[in-house]
């Protein structure tokens, strides 16, 4: 299981992965940060970008913060780096 740090931009006009912001992956979602809606949207966007089922992506930390950590079951750091087409930070 891999852990991935993300920076979430809720209420964006477009959804998707925006690239690396330091050691975090920046993800934009349309949903507002209310009642966990943005968190669920981030999990869906992240799962789509990684080519995995949404049920394998779970929020680990940062429930009410824009800085979050997600756990991705079935992938390791190298696989995440390959699937995102960029350089993931070494942990």
Quick: pLDDT tens for 64-78: 999 999 999 999 988
| 21 SS3 class | strand
Residue 89 has pLDDT above 80, yes or no: no
Domain membership of residue 63 as a residue range: 2-84
Element (H, E) at 50: helix 37-50
Residue 50 has pLDDT above 70, yes or no: yes
89 within some domain: no
45 within some domain: yes
- pLDDT at site 81: 85
Structure tokens at 5: 């740090």
73 within some domain: yes
| Number of domains present in the structure of the chain | 1
Could you tell me the pLDDT band of residue 88, with boundaries at 50, 70 and 90?
low
52 within some domain: yes
90 within some domain: no
Q: In this structure, what CATH number is given to the domain that contains residue 54?
A: 3.30.1200.10
Q: Tokens 């966990």 — which residue?
A: 36
10 within some domain: yes
Could you tell me the pLDDT band of residue 87, with boundaries at 50, 70 and 90?
low
Nearest to 34 by CA among 7, 54, 57, 64: 64
Residue 91 has pLDDT above 90, yes or no: no
91 within some domain: no
Residue 80 has pLDDT above 60, yes or no: yes
59 within some domain: yes
Q: Are 42 and 69 in contact (CB under 8 A)?
A: no
């Amino acid at each position: 299981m891999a852990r991935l740090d993300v920076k979430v931009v809720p209420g964006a006009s477009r959804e998707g992965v925006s690239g690396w912001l330091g050691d975090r992956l920046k993800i934009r979602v349309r949903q507002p940060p209310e009642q966990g809606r943005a968190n669920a949207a981030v999990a869906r966007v992240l799962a789509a970008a990684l080519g995995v089922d949404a049920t394998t992506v779970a929020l680990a930390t940062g429930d009410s913060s824009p800085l979050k950590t997600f756990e991705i079951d079935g992938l390791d750091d190298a696989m995440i780096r390959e699937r995102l087409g960029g350089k993931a930070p070494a942990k």
